[in-house]
Homo-oligomer: A and B are copies of this chain.
Amino acid sequence: MSIVGASEQTRERLLTAAREVFSECGFQGATVREICRRAGANVAAVSYHFGSKDGLLAEALHFESLRLLQEANACAAACPEVRLGLFIRDFMHMLLDENNASSQCRIMARELADPSPGLDKIVREAIAPLHDFLARLVREIVGDKVGDAELRRCAYSILGQCSFYHHSHPVLQRLHPELRYDSKEIEAIAKHIADFSLHGLKYLGKTA
């Protein structure tokens, strides 16, 4: 028996493979067989380790990086306008990076289009805190005159702009095949969204 149990290794390989496959094919489209194949495990391994395909999805989801992003932002010693810009930049990097970490986002996007048992957990543990965080940040910028419904819409405007680049990626790829989400492009996008949004927010804060 090594320091890390053999079982633990298989579990991790299964989780990694599951994130890949779920993000590529969605929950319904993903097959246990393909996940096990990529993890180099037997078909029965998913049942053994996670009980079922649903259980595997539940465990495959974790939102550490999203949480860290919010914490780092909250700690930043800067005015709310700057912090919003930082948040948008970090969020866009997370959304568009081709890294492994962003598979969580792809799974989330899948779940939105075709809700499965996993969506409730995602909403509870990832999206609701994110919305709350962003709403608080926006509140700092627009002040207290703006009503709660309108405040939520401001947060939606920001999140909508950000997630557009992610979930419309298949379309944008077809419209502009030359487009690459390299670091420079992501920075440019983030800057655009921040500028665009800040002026929208400022105006709403004044007229509310």
Contacts and interface: CB of A to CB of B under 8 A. Distances in A.
Contacts of A193: 153, 157
A72 B60 CA distance: 47
Nearest to A128: B175
Interface range, A side:
35 or more
Contact of A28 (B26, B111, B174, B197): B26
B200 A168 contact: no
Copies of this chain present: 4
A202 to B, nearest CB: 7
A113 B115 contact: no
Nearest to A109: B113
A123 B203 contact: no
Interface in A101-148: 109-115, 119-120, 123, 127-128, 131
A175 B168 CA distance: 23
A163 interface: yes
Contact of A131 (B119, B153, B175): B175
Contact of A114 (B113, B171, B201): B113
A5 interface: no
Interface of A: 25-26, 28-29, 109-115, 119-120, 123, 127-128, 131, 149-150, 153-154, 156-157, 159-165, 167-168, 170-171, 174-175, 188-189, 192-193, 195-197, 199-204
